[in-house]
Structure 1
Amino acid sequence: MQSFAFDSERITKSSIQSTETHSRYTTRTVKHVLSRHCTILEDSTGTVCGTIDWRERTLELGGKKASIEQLKRKVSNFSMTRYWKWVDGDEYKVKYAENMWIVTASMGEVVAEFTSTVERALRSNLFPVWRIARDVRDEERQFLLLILLYSETKRLDRED
Protein backbone atom coordinates (compact mmCIF):
# COMPACT_ATOMS: atom_id res chain seq x y z
CA MET A 1 0.00 0.00 0.00
CA GLN A 2 1.04 3.57 -0.64
CA SER A 3 0.99 5.86 2.40
CA PHE A 4 -0.01 9.52 2.54
CA ALA A 5 0.56 11.66 5.64
CA PHE A 6 -1.58 14.64 6.60
CA ASP A 7 0.31 17.72 7.79
CA SER A 8 -2.43 18.69 10.24
CA GLU A 9 -5.17 17.12 12.35
CA ARG A 10 -7.60 19.37 10.46
CA ILE A 11 -8.24 16.94 7.62
CA THR A 12 -10.50 19.32 5.67
CA LYS A 13 -7.71 21.91 5.52
CA SER A 14 -4.51 20.00 5.01
CA SER A 15 -1.74 18.90 2.69
CA ILE A 16 -1.64 15.14 2.13
CA GLN A 17 1.83 14.04 1.02
CA SER A 18 2.90 10.62 -0.20
CA THR A 19 5.63 9.19 2.01
CA GLU A 20 7.32 7.62 -1.05
CA THR A 21 6.75 9.82 -4.11
CA HIS A 22 6.09 13.46 -5.00
CA SER A 23 2.37 12.71 -5.22
CA ARG A 24 0.28 15.06 -3.12
CA TYR A 25 -3.28 16.19 -2.48
CA THR A 26 -4.57 19.27 -0.72
CA THR A 27 -7.87 19.82 1.02
CA ARG A 28 -9.40 23.20 1.72
CA THR A 29 -12.79 24.09 3.11
CA VAL A 30 -14.97 27.07 2.30
CA LYS A 31 -17.06 28.18 5.26
CA HIS A 32 -20.17 30.34 5.48
CA VAL A 33 -20.87 31.98 8.82
CA LEU A 34 -20.44 29.15 11.35
CA SER A 35 -20.76 26.08 9.14
CA ARG A 36 -18.69 24.46 6.43
CA HIS A 37 -20.03 24.88 2.93
CA CYS A 38 -17.76 22.68 0.82
CA THR A 39 -14.45 20.85 1.04
CA ILE A 40 -12.32 20.82 -2.10
CA LEU A 41 -9.78 18.12 -2.97
CA GLU A 42 -6.93 19.21 -5.27
CA ASP A 43 -4.10 17.18 -6.79
CA SER A 44 -0.43 18.22 -6.87
CA THR A 45 -1.01 20.45 -9.93
CA GLY A 46 -3.77 22.40 -8.16
CA THR A 47 -6.49 20.81 -10.28
CA VAL A 48 -9.75 20.24 -8.43
CA CYS A 49 -10.33 16.46 -8.22
CA GLY A 50 -13.46 16.42 -6.15
CA THR A 51 -15.75 18.29 -3.81
CA ILE A 52 -17.86 17.51 -0.77
CA ASP A 53 -20.79 19.91 -0.56
CA TRP A 54 -21.82 19.73 3.09
CA ARG A 55 -25.01 21.78 2.67
CA GLU A 56 -26.35 19.95 -0.38
CA ARG A 57 -24.98 16.62 0.91
CA THR A 58 -23.34 15.79 -2.43
CA LEU A 59 -20.01 14.57 -3.76
CA GLU A 60 -18.62 15.73 -7.08
CA LEU A 61 -15.88 13.82 -8.85
CA GLY A 62 -14.74 13.85 -12.48
CA GLY A 63 -17.53 16.24 -13.46
CA LYS A 64 -20.22 13.95 -12.01
CA LYS A 65 -22.29 14.91 -8.99
CA ALA A 66 -24.29 12.56 -6.75
CA SER A 67 -26.07 12.86 -3.42
CA ILE A 68 -24.65 11.13 -0.38
CA GLU A 69 -27.93 9.19 -0.10
CA GLN A 70 -27.37 7.73 -3.59
CA LEU A 71 -23.78 6.76 -2.82
CA LYS A 72 -24.02 5.43 0.74
CA ARG A 73 -26.10 2.73 2.34
CA LYS A 74 -26.07 1.13 5.76
CA VAL A 75 -27.32 -2.21 6.96
CA SER A 76 -28.10 -1.25 10.56
CA ASN A 77 -28.48 1.94 12.58
CA PHE A 78 -26.29 0.41 15.28
CA SER A 79 -23.28 -0.29 13.08
CA MET A 80 -20.40 1.95 11.98
CA THR A 81 -20.23 -0.04 8.73
CA ARG A 82 -21.33 1.75 5.57
CA TYR A 83 -21.34 0.69 1.94
CA TRP A 84 -20.28 3.27 -0.63
CA LYS A 85 -20.50 3.05 -4.41
CA TRP A 86 -19.56 5.74 -6.90
CA VAL A 87 -21.96 6.26 -9.82
CA ASP A 88 -20.24 3.80 -12.16
CA GLY A 89 -17.71 2.21 -9.82
CA ASP A 90 -17.30 -0.66 -7.41
CA GLU A 91 -18.99 -0.88 -4.01
CA TYR A 92 -16.79 -0.61 -0.91
CA LYS A 93 -17.43 -1.57 2.69
CA VAL A 94 -16.24 1.19 5.03
CA LYS A 95 -15.95 0.42 8.73
CA TYR A 96 -14.56 2.28 11.72
CA ALA A 97 -12.84 0.38 14.53
CA GLU A 98 -9.95 1.04 16.89
CA ASN A 99 -9.16 4.58 15.67
CA MET A 100 -9.09 3.51 12.01
CA TRP A 101 -11.35 3.43 8.97
CA ILE A 102 -10.92 0.29 6.87
CA VAL A 103 -12.14 0.12 3.27
CA THR A 104 -12.76 -3.32 1.82
CA ALA A 105 -13.58 -4.17 -1.80
CA SER A 106 -16.36 -6.58 -2.73
CA MET A 107 -13.96 -9.55 -2.86
CA GLY A 108 -12.87 -8.90 0.74
CA GLU A 109 -9.45 -7.35 0.15
CA VAL A 110 -8.49 -4.20 2.08
CA VAL A 111 -7.96 -1.40 -0.44
CA ALA A 112 -7.55 1.58 1.91
CA GLU A 113 -7.09 2.56 5.54
CA PHE A 114 -7.37 5.88 7.30
CA THR A 115 -5.90 6.32 10.77
CA SER A 116 -7.47 9.10 12.83
CA THR A 117 -5.44 11.67 14.73
CA VAL A 118 -3.85 10.18 17.83
CA GLU A 119 -3.85 12.65 20.70
CA ARG A 120 -0.97 12.34 23.12
CA ALA A 121 -0.61 14.13 26.44
CA LEU A 122 3.14 14.66 26.67
CA ARG A 123 4.16 14.70 23.02
CA SER A 124 2.78 16.22 19.85
CA ASN A 125 -0.23 14.50 18.30
CA LEU A 126 0.14 11.97 15.50
CA PHE A 127 -1.61 13.31 12.41
CA PRO A 128 -3.85 11.14 10.21
CA VAL A 129 -2.36 8.70 7.72
CA TRP A 130 -4.13 7.40 4.61
CA ARG A 131 -2.98 4.15 2.99
CA ILE A 132 -4.28 2.94 -0.35
CA ALA A 133 -3.58 -0.06 -2.57
CA ARG A 134 -1.28 0.81 -5.46
CA ASP A 135 -3.53 -0.70 -8.14
CA VAL A 136 -6.53 1.57 -7.45
CA ARG A 137 -7.40 3.85 -10.40
CA ASP A 138 -7.10 7.62 -9.89
CA GLU A 139 -10.85 8.34 -9.87
CA GLU A 140 -11.54 5.50 -7.42
CA ARG A 141 -8.58 6.67 -5.30
CA GLN A 142 -10.04 10.17 -5.15
CA PHE A 143 -13.52 8.79 -4.39
CA LEU A 144 -12.13 6.73 -1.51
CA LEU A 145 -10.28 9.73 -0.12
CA LEU A 146 -13.45 11.85 -0.31
CA ILE A 147 -15.58 9.27 1.49
CA LEU A 148 -12.94 8.82 4.18
CA LEU A 149 -12.75 12.59 4.67
CA TYR A 150 -16.55 12.70 4.84
CA SER A 151 -16.80 9.75 7.24
CA GLU A 152 -14.09 10.99 9.60
CA THR A 153 -15.46 14.53 9.64
CA LYS A 154 -18.96 13.29 10.47
CA ARG A 155 -17.54 11.01 13.19
CA LEU A 156 -15.67 13.93 14.75
CA ASP A 157 -18.81 16.10 14.56
CA ARG A 158 -20.70 13.44 16.53
CA GLU A 159 -17.99 13.43 19.22
CA ASP A 160 -18.30 17.19 19.82
Structure 2
Amino acid sequence: MDSFTFDSERITKSAILSARGNRSVHYTSNTSKNLFARQCTTVEDATGTIRGAIDWKERTFEIMGEGGKKESVDLLKRKDPSQTFATSTRFWRWSSQGEEYKVRYSNSTSTWIVTVLSTGELVSELTSTIERVFKSNTLPTWNISRDVRNETERLFILMVLLYSETKRLDRQD
Protein backbone atom coordinates (compact mmCIF):
# COMPACT_ATOMS: atom_id res chain seq x y z
CA MET A 1 0.00 0.00 0.00
CA ASP A 2 1.05 3.55 -0.69
CA SER A 3 0.42 5.67 2.41
CA PHE A 4 -0.43 9.35 2.61
CA THR A 5 -1.18 11.79 5.43
CA PHE A 6 -3.32 14.90 5.18
CA ASP A 7 -1.65 17.98 6.65
CA SER A 8 -4.97 19.23 8.03
CA GLU A 9 -8.04 17.75 9.68
CA ARG A 10 -10.06 19.36 6.86
CA ILE A 11 -9.62 16.80 4.09
CA THR A 12 -11.18 19.02 1.41
CA LYS A 13 -8.59 21.75 2.00
CA SER A 14 -5.32 19.97 2.63
CA ALA A 15 -2.00 18.87 1.21
CA ILE A 16 -1.86 15.09 0.88
CA LEU A 17 1.69 14.07 1.76
CA SER A 18 3.57 10.87 1.11
CA ALA A 19 3.83 9.15 4.51
CA ARG A 20 7.18 7.62 3.62
CA GLY A 21 10.48 9.21 2.69
CA ASN A 22 10.60 12.97 2.29
CA ARG A 23 6.86 13.53 2.94
CA SER A 24 6.48 15.26 -0.42
CA VAL A 25 3.14 16.66 -1.57
CA HIS A 26 1.41 14.12 -3.81
CA TYR A 27 -1.96 15.84 -4.14
CA THR A 28 -3.65 18.95 -2.78
CA SER A 29 -7.37 19.33 -2.18
CA ASN A 30 -8.97 22.79 -2.27
CA THR A 31 -12.59 23.75 -1.75
CA SER A 32 -14.30 26.92 -2.84
CA LYS A 33 -17.37 28.09 -0.96
CA ASN A 34 -19.91 30.82 -1.26
CA LEU A 35 -21.74 32.33 1.68
CA PHE A 36 -23.97 29.31 2.21
CA ALA A 37 -22.39 26.15 0.83
CA ARG A 38 -19.49 24.27 -0.71
CA GLN A 39 -19.14 24.92 -4.43
CA CYS A 40 -16.28 22.84 -5.79
CA THR A 41 -13.49 20.68 -4.41
CA THR A 42 -10.49 20.26 -6.69
CA VAL A 43 -7.68 17.74 -6.48
CA GLU A 44 -4.34 18.98 -7.83
CA ASP A 45 -1.23 16.91 -8.47
CA ALA A 46 2.24 17.83 -7.17
CA THR A 47 2.76 20.29 -10.07
CA GLY A 48 -0.41 22.24 -9.21
CA THR A 49 -2.36 20.90 -12.19
CA ILE A 50 -6.03 20.26 -11.43
CA ARG A 51 -6.65 16.55 -12.00
CA GLY A 52 -10.15 16.14 -10.59
CA ALA A 53 -13.13 18.08 -9.27
CA ILE A 54 -16.24 17.47 -7.22
CA ASP A 55 -19.00 19.96 -7.99
CA TRP A 56 -21.15 19.84 -4.86
CA LYS A 57 -24.04 21.86 -6.25
CA GLU A 58 -24.28 20.02 -9.58
CA ARG A 59 -23.41 16.69 -7.87
CA THR A 60 -20.77 15.72 -10.42
CA PHE A 61 -17.28 14.25 -10.48
CA GLU A 62 -14.84 15.31 -13.18
CA ILE A 63 -11.46 13.76 -13.88
CA MET A 64 -9.24 15.62 -16.30
CA GLY A 65 -6.68 14.16 -18.67
CA GLU A 66 -6.59 10.81 -20.41
CA GLY A 67 -9.70 8.81 -19.66
CA GLY A 68 -11.22 11.94 -18.16
CA LYS A 69 -14.85 12.86 -18.21
CA LYS A 70 -17.57 14.45 -16.13
CA GLU A 71 -20.29 12.26 -14.59
CA SER A 72 -23.23 12.68 -12.25
CA VAL A 73 -22.78 11.20 -8.78
CA ASP A 74 -26.13 9.46 -9.25
CA LEU A 75 -24.70 7.53 -12.23
CA LEU A 76 -21.47 6.64 -10.42
CA LYS A 77 -22.85 5.21 -7.18
CA ARG A 78 -25.62 2.90 -6.12
CA LYS A 79 -26.97 1.52 -2.89
CA ASP A 80 -27.08 -2.16 -2.08
CA PRO A 81 -30.61 -3.25 -3.07
CA SER A 82 -30.50 -6.13 -0.57
CA GLN A 83 -30.11 -3.73 2.39
CA THR A 84 -33.46 -2.81 3.92
CA PHE A 85 -32.07 -0.58 6.66
CA ALA A 86 -30.01 2.59 6.30
CA THR A 87 -26.37 1.76 5.70
CA SER A 88 -23.30 3.71 4.68
CA THR A 89 -22.29 1.03 2.15
CA ARG A 90 -22.30 2.21 -1.46
CA PHE A 91 -21.04 0.80 -4.74
CA TRP A 92 -19.06 3.09 -7.05
CA ARG A 93 -17.82 2.65 -10.63
CA TRP A 94 -16.08 5.28 -12.79
CA SER A 95 -16.52 3.64 -16.17
CA SER A 96 -18.47 0.73 -17.58
CA GLN A 97 -15.18 -1.15 -18.14
CA GLY A 98 -13.70 -0.23 -14.76
CA GLU A 99 -13.87 -2.02 -11.45
CA GLU A 100 -16.88 -1.60 -9.20
CA TYR A 101 -15.89 -0.75 -5.65
CA LYS A 102 -17.70 -1.44 -2.41
CA VAL A 103 -17.23 1.52 -0.08
CA ARG A 104 -18.26 1.27 3.57
CA TYR A 105 -17.54 3.06 6.82
CA SER A 106 -16.40 1.26 9.97
CA ASN A 107 -17.45 3.16 13.10
CA SER A 108 -15.19 1.04 15.29
CA THR A 109 -12.02 2.12 13.44
CA SER A 110 -13.23 5.48 12.00
CA THR A 111 -12.16 4.17 8.60
CA TRP A 112 -13.63 4.13 5.10
CA ILE A 113 -12.83 0.78 3.47
CA VAL A 114 -12.79 0.31 -0.30
CA THR A 115 -12.79 -3.20 -1.78
CA VAL A 116 -13.18 -4.53 -5.31
CA LEU A 117 -16.75 -5.84 -5.43
CA SER A 118 -15.96 -8.88 -7.59
CA THR A 119 -13.00 -10.16 -5.53
CA GLY A 120 -13.29 -8.54 -2.10
CA GLU A 121 -9.69 -7.32 -2.44
CA LEU A 122 -8.88 -4.33 -0.22
CA VAL A 123 -7.74 -1.44 -2.43
CA SER A 124 -7.95 1.65 -0.23
CA GLU A 125 -8.68 3.03 3.22
CA LEU A 126 -9.25 6.52 4.58
CA THR A 127 -8.96 6.89 8.34
CA SER A 128 -10.80 9.95 9.62
CA THR A 129 -9.48 12.46 12.10
CA ILE A 130 -9.70 11.00 15.57
CA GLU A 131 -10.52 13.68 18.11
CA ARG A 132 -8.90 13.35 21.51
CA VAL A 133 -9.33 15.25 24.72
CA PHE A 134 -5.88 15.00 26.32
CA LYS A 135 -3.72 14.49 23.22
CA SER A 136 -3.50 16.06 19.80
CA ASN A 137 -6.07 14.93 17.27
CA THR A 138 -4.78 12.48 14.70
CA LEU A 139 -4.64 13.66 11.10
CA PRO A 140 -6.50 11.71 8.41
CA THR A 141 -4.55 9.07 6.51
CA TRP A 142 -5.13 7.51 3.10
CA ASN A 143 -3.78 4.16 1.95
CA ILE A 144 -4.15 2.84 -1.60
CA SER A 145 -2.98 -0.44 -3.06
CA ARG A 146 -0.05 -0.33 -5.44
CA ASP A 147 -2.12 -2.65 -7.66
CA VAL A 148 -4.25 0.38 -8.60
CA ARG A 149 -1.80 1.73 -11.17
CA ASN A 150 -4.25 3.58 -13.38
CA GLU A 151 -4.07 7.26 -12.31
CA THR A 152 -7.72 7.85 -13.27
CA GLU A 153 -8.85 5.03 -10.96
CA ARG A 154 -6.57 6.30 -8.14
CA LEU A 155 -8.06 9.80 -8.46
CA PHE A 156 -11.57 8.37 -8.61
CA ILE A 157 -11.04 6.38 -5.40
CA LEU A 158 -9.58 9.44 -3.64
CA MET A 159 -12.51 11.60 -4.77
CA VAL A 160 -15.03 8.94 -3.63
CA LEU A 161 -13.39 8.94 -0.20
CA LEU A 162 -13.34 12.75 0.03
CA TYR A 163 -17.00 12.83 -1.01
CA SER A 164 -18.07 10.03 1.37
CA GLU A 165 -16.25 11.44 4.40
CA THR A 166 -17.54 14.97 3.77
CA LYS A 167 -21.12 13.70 3.49
CA ARG A 168 -20.68 11.63 6.67
CA LEU A 169 -19.43 14.69 8.57
CA ASP A 170 -22.34 16.76 7.20
CA ARG A 171 -24.80 14.19 8.59
CA GLN A 172 -23.14 14.42 12.03
CA ASP A 173 -23.69 18.17 12.31
TM over 0.5: yes
What is the rounded CA distance, in whole Å, between the counterparts of 1:49 and 1:134 in structure 2?
19
Match of 2:100 among 67, 91, 108: 91
Contact residue 81 and residue 96 of structure 1 kept, 8 A? yes
Number of corresponding residues: 160
Deviates more, 1:86-95 or 1:14-23: 14-23
> Secondary structure of the residue that 2:154 maps to in structure 1?
helix
Contact residue 7 and residue 127 of structure 1 kept, 8 A? yes
Offset at residue 45 of structure 1 (A): 0.7
What is the rounded CA distance, in whole Å, between the counterparts of 1:151 and 1:143 in structure 2?
12
What is the rounded CA distance, in whole Å, between the counterparts of 2:26 and 2:87 in structure 1?
32
User: Equivalent residue for 1:110?
Assistant: 122
User: Equivalent residue for 1:149?
Assistant: 162
Contact residue 54 and residue 62 of structure 2 kept, 8 A? yes
Taking the TM superposition and a 5 Å limit, the aligned residue runs for 1:117-156 are 117-136=129-148, 137-156=150-169
Amino acid at match of 1:91: E
Deviates more, 1:57-66 or 1:75-84: 75-84
Taking the TM superposition and a 5 Å limit, the aligned residue runs for 1:8-157 are 8-20=8-20, 22=24, 24-62=26-64, 63-75=68-80, 76=83, 78-88=86-96, 89-97=98-106, 98=108, 99-105=110-116, 106-136=118-148, 137-157=150-170
Offset at residue 78 of structure 1 (A): 1.3
Task: Report % sequence identity.
Answer: 56
What is the rounded CA distance, in whole Å, between the counterparts of 1:19 and 1:115 in structure 2?
14
Deviates more, 1:85-94 or 1:36-45: 85-94
Offset at residue 130 of structure 1 (A): 0.2
What is the rounded CA distance, in whole Å, between the counterparts of 1:20 and 1:134 in structure 2?
14
What residue ranges of structure 2 are gaps of 5+ in the alignment?
Answer: none
What is the rounded CA distance, in whole Å, between the counterparts of 1:17 and 1:156 in structure 2?
22
Question: Could you report, residue by residue, the CA deviation over 1:83-119 in whole angstroms, capped at 9, with x for unpaired residues?
Answer: 0000242110000012100000121100000001000
Amino acid at match of 2:171: R
What residue ranges of structure 1 are gaps of 5+ in the alignment?
Answer: none
